[in-house]
Structure 1
Amino acid sequence: MTPSSAEDPNRADLGKDPKRVSGMFDEVARGYDRTNTVLSLGNDQLWRVATTRAVAPRKGQRILDLAAGTGASSVSIARSGAEVVAADFSPGMIAEGRRRHTGIPNLSFTEADATALPFADAEFDAVTMSFGLRNVNDPKKALRELLRVTKPGGRLVVCEFSHPPSPSFNGLYRFYNDRILPVVAKTVSSNAEAYDYLNESIKDWPDQATLSSWIRDAGWTDVAYRNLSFGIVALHRARKPAR
Protein backbone atom coordinates (compact mmCIF):
# COMPACT_ATOMS: atom_id res chain seq x y z
CA MET A 1 0.00 0.00 0.00
CA THR A 2 1.31 3.41 -0.90
CA PRO A 3 1.26 6.31 1.60
CA SER A 4 -1.43 8.07 -0.40
CA SER A 5 -3.66 4.96 -0.38
CA ALA A 6 -3.31 4.77 3.41
CA GLU A 7 -4.56 8.36 3.73
CA ASP A 8 -7.48 7.98 1.31
CA PRO A 9 -9.60 4.81 1.73
CA ASN A 10 -10.73 5.17 -1.89
CA ARG A 11 -7.25 5.58 -3.38
CA ALA A 12 -6.84 2.32 -5.31
CA ASP A 13 -3.43 0.73 -5.70
CA LEU A 14 -2.05 -2.26 -7.58
CA GLY A 15 -3.46 -4.60 -4.95
CA LYS A 16 -6.79 -3.77 -6.64
CA ASP A 17 -8.90 -4.29 -3.55
CA PRO A 18 -12.48 -4.30 -4.91
CA LYS A 19 -13.79 -1.89 -2.26
CA ARG A 20 -11.03 0.63 -2.93
CA VAL A 21 -11.39 0.44 -6.71
CA SER A 22 -15.17 0.68 -6.51
CA GLY A 23 -14.97 3.62 -4.11
CA MET A 24 -12.50 5.39 -6.38
CA PHE A 25 -14.85 5.09 -9.35
CA ASP A 26 -17.81 6.20 -7.23
CA GLU A 27 -15.95 9.47 -6.55
CA VAL A 28 -15.24 10.27 -10.20
CA ALA A 29 -18.52 9.03 -11.73
CA ARG A 30 -20.11 12.41 -12.46
CA GLY A 31 -17.21 13.77 -14.56
CA TYR A 32 -15.70 10.46 -15.65
CA ASP A 33 -16.57 10.53 -19.35
CA ARG A 34 -15.58 14.17 -19.83
CA THR A 35 -12.26 13.60 -18.07
CA ASN A 36 -11.49 10.55 -20.21
CA THR A 37 -12.15 12.50 -23.39
CA VAL A 38 -9.78 15.25 -22.30
CA LEU A 39 -6.99 12.94 -21.12
CA SER A 40 -7.20 10.69 -24.20
CA LEU A 41 -7.21 13.73 -26.52
CA GLY A 42 -10.54 12.54 -27.91
CA ASN A 43 -9.31 9.06 -28.79
CA ASP A 44 -11.79 7.45 -26.37
CA GLN A 45 -14.59 8.10 -28.87
CA LEU A 46 -12.64 6.38 -31.66
CA TRP A 47 -11.96 3.40 -29.38
CA ARG A 48 -15.68 3.18 -28.57
CA VAL A 49 -16.58 3.09 -32.27
CA ALA A 50 -14.00 0.36 -32.94
CA THR A 51 -15.31 -1.69 -30.01
CA THR A 52 -18.92 -1.43 -31.13
CA ARG A 53 -17.99 -2.51 -34.65
CA ALA A 54 -16.09 -5.51 -33.27
CA VAL A 55 -19.07 -6.53 -31.11
CA ALA A 56 -21.23 -6.26 -34.26
CA PRO A 57 -24.52 -6.07 -32.32
CA ARG A 58 -27.81 -6.93 -33.99
CA LYS A 59 -31.44 -6.49 -33.06
CA GLY A 60 -32.68 -9.45 -31.04
CA GLN A 61 -29.31 -10.21 -29.47
CA ARG A 62 -28.59 -9.97 -25.75
CA ILE A 63 -25.23 -8.35 -25.00
CA LEU A 64 -23.31 -7.82 -21.76
CA ASP A 65 -21.22 -4.68 -21.44
CA LEU A 66 -19.12 -5.35 -18.35
CA ALA A 67 -17.29 -2.54 -16.54
CA ALA A 68 -19.71 -0.28 -18.39
CA GLY A 69 -19.19 2.71 -16.13
CA THR A 70 -21.82 5.33 -16.92
CA GLY A 71 -22.90 3.40 -20.00
CA ALA A 72 -21.28 5.41 -22.81
CA SER A 73 -20.21 2.24 -24.63
CA SER A 74 -23.51 0.52 -23.76
CA VAL A 75 -25.50 3.27 -25.46
CA SER A 76 -23.37 2.91 -28.58
CA ILE A 77 -24.14 -0.83 -28.68
CA ALA A 78 -27.84 -0.35 -27.84
CA ARG A 79 -28.34 1.86 -30.90
CA SER A 80 -28.29 -1.36 -32.94
CA GLY A 81 -31.52 -2.49 -31.28
CA ALA A 82 -29.81 -5.24 -29.28
CA GLU A 83 -30.78 -5.71 -25.63
CA VAL A 84 -27.80 -4.46 -23.62
CA VAL A 85 -27.04 -5.11 -19.97
CA ALA A 86 -24.61 -2.50 -18.63
CA ALA A 87 -22.86 -3.99 -15.60
CA ASP A 88 -20.36 -2.41 -13.24
CA PHE A 89 -19.23 -2.97 -9.66
CA SER A 90 -19.29 0.76 -8.83
CA PRO A 91 -22.70 1.83 -7.46
CA GLY A 92 -21.82 5.43 -8.25
CA MET A 93 -21.17 4.65 -11.90
CA ILE A 94 -24.40 2.64 -12.19
CA ALA A 95 -26.42 5.44 -10.58
CA GLU A 96 -24.93 8.01 -12.96
CA GLY A 97 -25.62 5.75 -15.94
CA ARG A 98 -29.24 5.28 -14.95
CA ARG A 99 -29.63 9.04 -14.46
CA ARG A 100 -28.28 9.79 -17.93
CA HIS A 101 -29.87 7.01 -19.97
CA THR A 102 -33.28 6.22 -18.47
CA GLY A 103 -35.02 6.80 -21.80
CA ILE A 104 -33.37 3.90 -23.66
CA PRO A 105 -35.79 0.93 -23.43
CA ASN A 106 -33.34 -1.79 -24.48
CA LEU A 107 -30.64 -0.75 -21.99
CA SER A 108 -30.56 -1.85 -18.34
CA PHE A 109 -28.02 -1.30 -15.57
CA THR A 110 -26.95 -3.71 -12.85
CA GLU A 111 -24.19 -3.98 -10.25
CA ALA A 112 -21.93 -6.95 -10.90
CA ASP A 113 -18.61 -8.40 -9.76
CA ALA A 114 -16.60 -9.50 -12.80
CA THR A 115 -15.30 -12.55 -10.92
CA ALA A 116 -18.79 -13.74 -9.85
CA LEU A 117 -21.28 -12.57 -12.46
CA PRO A 118 -24.98 -12.68 -11.42
CA PHE A 119 -26.07 -14.18 -14.75
CA ALA A 120 -27.01 -17.64 -15.96
CA ASP A 121 -24.80 -19.85 -18.10
CA ALA A 122 -24.92 -19.12 -21.84
CA GLU A 123 -27.12 -16.04 -21.40
CA PHE A 124 -25.46 -13.60 -23.85
CA ASP A 125 -24.79 -13.58 -27.57
CA ALA A 126 -21.75 -11.35 -27.01
CA VAL A 127 -19.81 -9.96 -24.05
CA THR A 128 -17.54 -6.94 -24.03
CA MET A 129 -15.37 -5.13 -21.53
CA SER A 130 -13.68 -1.78 -22.14
CA PHE A 131 -10.91 -0.55 -19.86
CA GLY A 132 -12.16 -2.64 -16.96
CA LEU A 133 -10.32 -5.95 -17.02
CA ARG A 134 -7.18 -4.15 -15.86
CA ASN A 135 -8.98 -3.11 -12.66
CA VAL A 136 -10.11 -6.61 -11.66
CA ASN A 137 -8.06 -8.27 -8.94
CA ASP A 138 -8.33 -11.65 -10.73
CA PRO A 139 -8.62 -10.93 -14.48
CA LYS A 140 -8.13 -14.57 -15.47
CA LYS A 141 -11.15 -15.55 -13.39
CA ALA A 142 -13.14 -12.72 -14.99
CA LEU A 143 -12.31 -14.09 -18.45
CA ARG A 144 -13.61 -17.51 -17.36
CA GLU A 145 -16.79 -15.92 -16.01
CA LEU A 146 -17.34 -14.10 -19.28
CA LEU A 147 -16.95 -17.42 -21.08
CA ARG A 148 -19.52 -19.05 -18.78
CA VAL A 149 -22.26 -16.49 -19.46
CA THR A 150 -21.69 -16.46 -23.25
CA LYS A 151 -23.64 -18.68 -25.62
CA PRO A 152 -21.68 -21.27 -27.64
CA GLY A 153 -20.31 -19.47 -30.70
CA GLY A 154 -20.73 -16.10 -28.98
CA ARG A 155 -18.21 -13.29 -29.16
CA LEU A 156 -15.82 -11.67 -26.70
CA VAL A 157 -14.46 -8.16 -27.27
CA VAL A 158 -12.00 -6.63 -24.78
CA CYS A 159 -10.71 -3.11 -25.34
CA GLU A 160 -7.86 -2.34 -22.95
CA PHE A 161 -4.79 -0.19 -22.56
CA SER A 162 -1.66 -1.92 -23.79
CA HIS A 163 1.95 -1.28 -24.76
CA PRO A 164 2.95 0.50 -28.00
CA PRO A 165 5.33 -1.80 -29.92
CA SER A 166 7.44 1.11 -31.19
CA PRO A 167 10.15 2.01 -28.62
CA SER A 168 10.25 5.64 -29.72
CA PHE A 169 6.49 6.12 -29.58
CA ASN A 170 6.31 4.21 -26.29
CA GLY A 171 8.82 6.70 -24.86
CA LEU A 172 6.60 9.63 -25.87
CA TYR A 173 3.56 7.85 -24.45
CA ARG A 174 5.28 7.23 -21.12
CA PHE A 175 6.38 10.88 -20.98
CA TYR A 176 2.76 11.97 -21.49
CA ASN A 177 1.45 9.60 -18.81
CA ASP A 178 4.18 10.43 -16.29
CA ARG A 179 4.53 14.18 -16.76
CA ILE A 180 1.54 15.65 -18.56
CA LEU A 181 -1.43 13.47 -17.58
CA PRO A 182 -1.10 14.14 -13.80
CA VAL A 183 -1.09 17.91 -14.38
CA VAL A 184 -4.15 17.78 -16.65
CA ALA A 185 -5.95 15.39 -14.28
CA LYS A 186 -5.58 17.84 -11.41
CA THR A 187 -7.32 20.45 -13.55
CA VAL A 188 -10.22 18.43 -14.97
CA SER A 189 -10.86 15.60 -12.49
CA SER A 190 -12.55 15.64 -9.09
CA ASN A 191 -10.05 13.01 -7.91
CA ALA A 192 -6.63 13.39 -9.53
CA GLU A 193 -5.24 10.47 -7.48
CA ALA A 194 -7.56 8.15 -9.40
CA TYR A 195 -5.51 8.96 -12.48
CA ASP A 196 -2.26 8.29 -10.65
CA TYR A 197 -3.64 4.79 -10.18
CA LEU A 198 -4.60 4.72 -13.87
CA ASN A 199 -0.99 5.36 -14.86
CA GLU A 200 0.32 2.76 -12.40
CA SER A 201 -2.13 0.11 -13.60
CA ILE A 202 -1.26 0.68 -17.27
CA LYS A 203 2.46 0.24 -16.58
CA ASP A 204 1.76 -2.95 -14.63
CA TRP A 205 -0.61 -4.45 -17.22
CA PRO A 206 0.72 -7.17 -19.56
CA ASP A 207 1.34 -6.65 -23.25
CA GLN A 208 -0.91 -7.69 -26.14
CA ALA A 209 0.50 -11.18 -26.58
CA THR A 210 0.26 -12.00 -22.87
CA LEU A 211 -3.37 -10.91 -22.61
CA SER A 212 -4.13 -12.95 -25.72
CA SER A 213 -2.66 -16.01 -23.99
CA TRP A 214 -4.82 -15.36 -20.92
CA ILE A 215 -7.92 -15.24 -23.11
CA ARG A 216 -6.93 -18.47 -24.84
CA ASP A 217 -6.18 -20.20 -21.53
CA ALA A 218 -9.64 -19.22 -20.23
CA GLY A 219 -11.17 -21.37 -22.99
CA TRP A 220 -11.83 -18.90 -25.78
CA THR A 221 -10.94 -19.70 -29.40
CA ASP A 222 -10.16 -17.65 -32.53
CA VAL A 223 -8.22 -15.24 -30.32
CA ALA A 224 -6.84 -12.18 -32.11
CA TYR A 225 -6.10 -8.54 -31.45
CA ARG A 226 -5.35 -5.33 -33.30
CA ASN A 227 -3.68 -2.19 -32.05
CA LEU A 228 -5.49 1.13 -31.85
CA SER A 229 -3.72 4.49 -31.58
CA PHE A 230 -0.30 2.94 -32.25
CA GLY A 231 -0.78 0.32 -29.53
CA ILE A 232 -1.82 2.61 -26.68
CA VAL A 233 -4.93 0.44 -26.73
CA ALA A 234 -5.46 -3.08 -28.07
CA LEU A 235 -8.79 -4.51 -29.21
CA HIS A 236 -8.91 -8.23 -28.38
CA ARG A 237 -11.47 -10.54 -29.99
CA ALA A 238 -12.39 -14.19 -29.45
CA ARG A 239 -15.24 -16.71 -29.66
CA LYS A 240 -16.67 -19.30 -27.32
CA PRO A 241 -16.35 -22.76 -28.87
CA ALA A 242 -19.58 -23.96 -30.48
CA ARG A 243 -21.16 -27.12 -29.19
Structure 2
Amino acid sequence: MTRASLDKQPHEVASMFDDVAANYDLTNDVLSLGQDRRWRKEVAKAVDARPAERILDLAAGTGTSSLPFTRTGAYVVPCDFSLGMLREGKKRHPWLPLTAGDATRLPFRDDSFDAVTISFGLRNVQDTDQALRELHRVTKPGGRVVICEFSHPTWAPFRTVYEEYLMRALPPVARAVSSNPDAYVYLAESIQFWPEQADLAGMLQKAGWSKVAWRNLSGGIVALHRGTKSQ
Protein backbone atom coordinates (compact mmCIF):
# COMPACT_ATOMS: atom_id res chain seq x y z
CA MET A 1 0.00 0.00 0.00
CA THR A 2 1.19 3.52 -0.81
CA ARG A 3 1.35 6.44 1.61
CA ALA A 4 2.30 9.79 0.08
CA SER A 5 4.61 12.19 1.92
CA LEU A 6 4.07 15.90 2.41
CA ASP A 7 6.37 16.80 -0.47
CA LYS A 8 3.49 15.41 -2.59
CA GLN A 9 5.37 13.61 -5.32
CA PRO A 10 2.73 13.17 -8.05
CA HIS A 11 3.38 9.46 -8.62
CA GLU A 12 3.05 8.76 -4.88
CA VAL A 13 -0.18 10.72 -4.52
CA ALA A 14 -1.70 9.12 -7.63
CA SER A 15 -0.73 5.64 -6.46
CA MET A 16 -2.20 6.32 -3.02
CA PHE A 17 -5.55 7.30 -4.53
CA ASP A 18 -5.42 4.27 -6.84
CA ASP A 19 -5.23 2.12 -3.70
CA VAL A 20 -8.30 3.65 -2.03
CA ALA A 21 -10.48 4.16 -5.13
CA ALA A 22 -13.00 1.36 -4.50
CA ASN A 23 -14.07 2.56 -1.04
CA TYR A 24 -13.08 6.22 -1.28
CA ASP A 25 -16.57 7.76 -1.32
CA LEU A 26 -17.82 5.53 1.52
CA THR A 27 -14.73 6.22 3.63
CA ASN A 28 -15.13 9.97 3.23
CA ASP A 29 -18.76 9.72 4.29
CA VAL A 30 -17.82 7.83 7.45
CA LEU A 31 -14.82 9.99 8.40
CA SER A 32 -16.70 13.26 7.90
CA LEU A 33 -19.74 11.94 9.81
CA GLY A 34 -21.83 12.56 6.71
CA GLN A 35 -20.86 16.24 6.46
CA ASP A 36 -19.22 15.77 3.05
CA ARG A 37 -22.69 15.51 1.48
CA ARG A 38 -23.64 18.94 2.82
CA TRP A 39 -20.33 20.43 1.72
CA ARG A 40 -20.82 19.17 -1.82
CA LYS A 41 -24.32 20.68 -1.93
CA GLU A 42 -22.75 24.02 -1.04
CA VAL A 43 -20.24 23.57 -3.87
CA ALA A 44 -23.07 22.94 -6.33
CA LYS A 45 -24.83 26.12 -5.20
CA ALA A 46 -21.64 28.16 -5.51
CA VAL A 47 -20.79 26.83 -8.99
CA ASP A 48 -24.38 27.54 -10.08
CA ALA A 49 -24.04 25.45 -13.25
CA ARG A 50 -26.49 26.32 -16.00
CA PRO A 51 -27.75 24.45 -19.09
CA ALA A 52 -25.18 24.18 -21.89
CA GLU A 53 -22.34 25.59 -19.76
CA ARG A 54 -19.00 23.78 -19.79
CA ILE A 55 -17.81 22.85 -16.30
CA LEU A 56 -14.41 21.42 -15.34
CA ASP A 57 -14.55 19.30 -12.19
CA LEU A 58 -10.90 18.81 -11.28
CA ALA A 59 -9.80 16.07 -8.87
CA ALA A 60 -13.18 14.51 -9.56
CA GLY A 61 -12.07 11.03 -8.50
CA THR A 62 -14.83 8.56 -9.33
CA GLY A 63 -17.03 11.32 -10.76
CA THR A 64 -19.43 11.47 -7.80
CA SER A 65 -18.76 15.18 -7.36
CA SER A 66 -19.71 15.84 -11.01
CA LEU A 67 -23.23 14.44 -10.81
CA PRO A 68 -24.93 17.56 -9.37
CA PHE A 69 -23.60 19.62 -12.29
CA THR A 70 -24.87 17.19 -14.92
CA ARG A 71 -28.38 17.42 -13.46
CA THR A 72 -28.51 21.12 -14.38
CA GLY A 73 -27.98 20.37 -18.06
CA ALA A 74 -24.37 21.56 -18.05
CA TYR A 75 -21.64 19.65 -19.89
CA VAL A 76 -19.24 18.45 -17.19
CA VAL A 77 -15.70 17.17 -17.67
CA PRO A 78 -14.54 15.19 -14.61
CA CYS A 79 -10.72 15.20 -14.54
CA ASP A 80 -8.32 13.38 -12.24
CA PHE A 81 -4.73 12.09 -12.34
CA SER A 82 -5.49 8.84 -10.51
CA LEU A 83 -6.19 6.20 -13.14
CA GLY A 84 -7.53 3.92 -10.43
CA MET A 85 -10.15 6.50 -9.48
CA LEU A 86 -11.09 7.03 -13.12
CA ARG A 87 -11.44 3.28 -13.72
CA GLU A 88 -13.73 2.99 -10.70
CA GLY A 89 -15.71 6.00 -11.91
CA LYS A 90 -16.13 4.46 -15.37
CA LYS A 91 -17.67 1.37 -13.80
CA ARG A 92 -20.21 3.47 -11.91
CA HIS A 93 -20.88 6.24 -14.44
CA PRO A 94 -19.91 4.96 -17.91
CA TRP A 95 -21.58 7.94 -19.60
CA LEU A 96 -19.39 10.56 -17.91
CA PRO A 97 -16.46 11.93 -20.03
CA LEU A 98 -13.87 11.04 -17.37
CA THR A 99 -10.51 12.50 -18.35
CA ALA A 100 -6.97 11.86 -17.10
CA GLY A 101 -5.08 15.04 -16.36
CA ASP A 102 -2.52 16.69 -14.11
CA ALA A 103 -3.68 19.88 -12.34
CA THR A 104 -0.38 21.58 -13.14
CA ARG A 105 -0.59 20.76 -16.87
CA LEU A 106 -4.26 20.59 -17.76
CA PRO A 107 -5.00 18.94 -21.15
CA PHE A 108 -7.42 21.68 -22.24
CA ARG A 109 -7.20 24.76 -24.42
CA ASP A 110 -7.22 28.31 -23.09
CA ASP A 111 -10.67 29.76 -22.29
CA SER A 112 -12.45 26.38 -22.49
CA PHE A 113 -14.78 26.42 -19.47
CA ASP A 114 -17.49 28.66 -18.03
CA ALA A 115 -16.65 27.43 -14.53
CA VAL A 116 -13.92 25.35 -12.91
CA THR A 117 -14.09 23.68 -9.54
CA ILE A 118 -12.01 21.41 -7.33
CA SER A 119 -13.14 19.84 -4.06
CA PHE A 120 -10.76 18.30 -1.52
CA GLY A 121 -8.02 17.92 -4.10
CA LEU A 122 -6.05 21.13 -4.30
CA ARG A 123 -3.98 20.40 -1.20
CA ASN A 124 -2.77 17.16 -2.82
CA VAL A 125 -1.21 19.00 -5.77
CA GLN A 126 2.54 19.48 -5.51
CA ASP A 127 2.52 23.02 -6.96
CA THR A 128 -0.62 24.81 -5.77
CA ASP A 129 0.27 28.12 -7.43
CA GLN A 130 0.73 26.46 -10.81
CA ALA A 131 -2.60 24.62 -10.46
CA LEU A 132 -4.40 27.89 -9.73
CA ARG A 133 -2.78 29.46 -12.80
CA GLU A 134 -3.83 26.48 -14.93
CA LEU A 135 -7.41 26.73 -13.71
CA HIS A 136 -7.33 30.43 -14.62
CA ARG A 137 -5.91 29.67 -18.07
CA VAL A 138 -8.64 27.22 -19.07
CA THR A 139 -11.49 29.42 -17.79
CA LYS A 140 -13.31 31.77 -20.15
CA PRO A 141 -13.14 35.51 -19.44
CA GLY A 142 -15.93 36.24 -16.97
CA GLY A 143 -15.89 32.63 -15.81
CA ARG A 144 -15.70 31.49 -12.21
CA VAL A 145 -13.72 29.22 -9.92
CA VAL A 146 -14.99 27.43 -6.82
CA ILE A 147 -12.58 25.67 -4.48
CA CYS A 148 -13.79 23.54 -1.58
CA GLU A 149 -10.99 22.39 0.68
CA PHE A 150 -10.37 21.34 4.24
CA SER A 151 -9.19 24.34 6.22
CA HIS A 152 -8.76 25.55 9.80
CA PRO A 153 -11.49 26.14 12.40
CA THR A 154 -11.61 29.77 13.49
CA TRP A 155 -12.62 29.19 17.14
CA ALA A 156 -9.49 28.16 19.07
CA PRO A 157 -11.09 25.59 21.46
CA PHE A 158 -12.88 23.86 18.57
CA ARG A 159 -9.69 23.94 16.51
CA THR A 160 -7.84 22.06 19.25
CA VAL A 161 -10.55 19.38 19.47
CA TYR A 162 -10.63 19.06 15.67
CA GLU A 163 -6.88 18.62 15.36
CA GLU A 164 -6.98 15.96 18.07
CA TYR A 165 -9.62 14.12 16.05
CA LEU A 166 -7.54 14.32 12.90
CA MET A 167 -4.41 12.82 14.39
CA ARG A 168 -5.82 10.47 17.05
CA ALA A 169 -9.35 9.40 16.11
CA LEU A 170 -9.12 9.43 12.32
CA PRO A 171 -6.43 6.72 11.85
CA PRO A 172 -8.28 4.00 13.81
CA VAL A 173 -11.55 4.81 12.04
CA ALA A 174 -9.72 4.68 8.70
CA ARG A 175 -8.31 1.27 9.61
CA ALA A 176 -11.85 -0.01 10.04
CA VAL A 177 -13.25 1.25 6.74
CA SER A 178 -10.41 1.93 4.31
CA SER A 179 -8.32 -0.41 2.18
CA ASN A 180 -5.30 1.85 2.82
CA PRO A 181 -5.56 3.50 6.26
CA ASP A 182 -2.05 4.95 6.02
CA ALA A 183 -3.32 7.14 3.19
CA TYR A 184 -5.62 8.86 5.64
CA VAL A 185 -2.74 9.61 7.99
CA TYR A 186 -1.18 11.54 5.11
CA LEU A 187 -4.50 13.25 4.39
CA ALA A 188 -4.79 14.35 8.04
CA GLU A 189 -1.25 15.71 8.01
CA SER A 190 -1.86 17.53 4.73
CA ILE A 191 -4.84 19.32 6.29
CA GLN A 192 -2.74 20.53 9.22
CA PHE A 193 -0.08 21.98 6.91
CA TRP A 194 -2.55 23.56 4.47
CA PRO A 195 -2.64 27.41 4.24
CA GLU A 196 -5.10 29.43 6.29
CA GLN A 197 -8.22 30.73 4.53
CA ALA A 198 -6.83 34.23 3.93
CA ASP A 199 -3.55 32.82 2.62
CA LEU A 200 -5.32 30.69 0.02
CA ALA A 201 -7.34 33.75 -1.03
CA GLY A 202 -4.04 35.58 -1.57
CA MET A 203 -2.75 32.71 -3.71
CA LEU A 204 -5.87 32.91 -5.88
CA GLN A 205 -5.35 36.63 -6.40
CA LYS A 206 -1.69 36.07 -7.26
CA ALA A 207 -2.76 33.53 -9.91
CA GLY A 208 -4.90 36.17 -11.62
CA TRP A 209 -8.34 35.63 -10.10
CA SER A 210 -10.41 38.68 -9.14
CA LYS A 211 -13.36 39.19 -6.77
CA VAL A 212 -11.86 36.52 -4.51
CA ALA A 213 -13.89 35.69 -1.41
CA TRP A 214 -14.42 32.78 0.92
CA ARG A 215 -16.78 31.51 3.57
CA ASN A 216 -16.32 28.88 6.22
CA LEU A 217 -18.39 25.71 6.47
CA SER A 218 -18.72 23.69 9.67
CA GLY A 219 -16.86 26.30 11.68
CA GLY A 220 -13.92 26.41 9.31
CA ILE A 221 -13.32 22.66 8.97
CA VAL A 222 -13.94 23.40 5.31
CA ALA A 223 -13.61 26.68 3.41
CA LEU A 224 -15.34 27.56 0.13
CA HIS A 225 -13.27 29.98 -1.97
CA ARG A 226 -14.59 31.72 -5.08
CA GLY A 227 -13.16 33.97 -7.76
CA THR A 228 -13.78 35.36 -11.24
CA LYS A 229 -11.62 35.65 -14.34
CA SER A 230 -11.63 39.24 -15.52
CA GLN A 231 -13.22 40.04 -18.87
Pick the TM interval, shorter chain.
over 0.9
Hey, what's the Cα distance between the residues in 1 that align with 2:76 and 2:164? 38
Q: What's 1:81 paired with?
A: 73
Matched, 1:185 2:177: no
CA RMSD, 1 decimal: 0.7
1:76 deviates by 1.4
Segments of structure 1 that go 5 or more residues without pairing to the other structure are 1-7
Q: What's 2:196 paired with?
A: 207
Q: What's 1:220 paired with?
A: 209
Aligned residues: 231
1:134 deviates by 0.1
Q: What's 2:14 paired with?
A: 22
Query: Out of 52, 60, 68, which is 2:44 matched to?
Result: 52
1:113 deviates by 0.3
Query: Out of 24, 29, 51, which is 1:37 matched to?
Result: 29
Hey, what's the Cα distance between the residues in 2 that align with 1:39 and 1:170? 17
Letter in 2 for 1:210: D
1:235 deviates by 0.2
Q: What's 1:109 paired with?
A: 98
Task: Return the TM-score normalized by structure 2.
Answer: 0.99
Find the residue that maps to 1:29 and give its secondary structure.
helix
Matched, 1:72 2:61: no
Task: Describe the superposition over 1:113-145 as per-residue Cα deviations: whole angstroms up to 9, x where unpaired.
Answer: 000000000000000000111000001000000
Hey, what's the Cα distance between the residues in 2 that align with 1:115 and 1:32? 23
1:100 deviates by 0.5
List aligned pairs for 1:68-147, cutoff 5 A: 68-103=60-95, 107-147=96-136
Find the residue that maps to 2:110 and give its secondary structure.
coil
Find the residue that maps to 2:3 and give its secondary structure.
coil
Q: What's 2:220 paired with?
A: 231
Hey, what's the Cα distance between the residues in 1 that align with 2:172 and 2:185? 10
Hey, what's the Cα distance between the residues in 2 that align with 1:72 and 1:159? 15
Task: Describe the superposition over 1:37-80 as per-residue Cα deviations: whole angstroms up to 9, x where unpaired.
Answer: 00000000001000010000011100000000111110111111
Letter in 2 for 1:25: F
Find the residue that maps to 2:97 and give its secondary structure.
strand
**Identity value in percent:** 58
Find the residue that maps to 2:8 and give its secondary structure.
coil
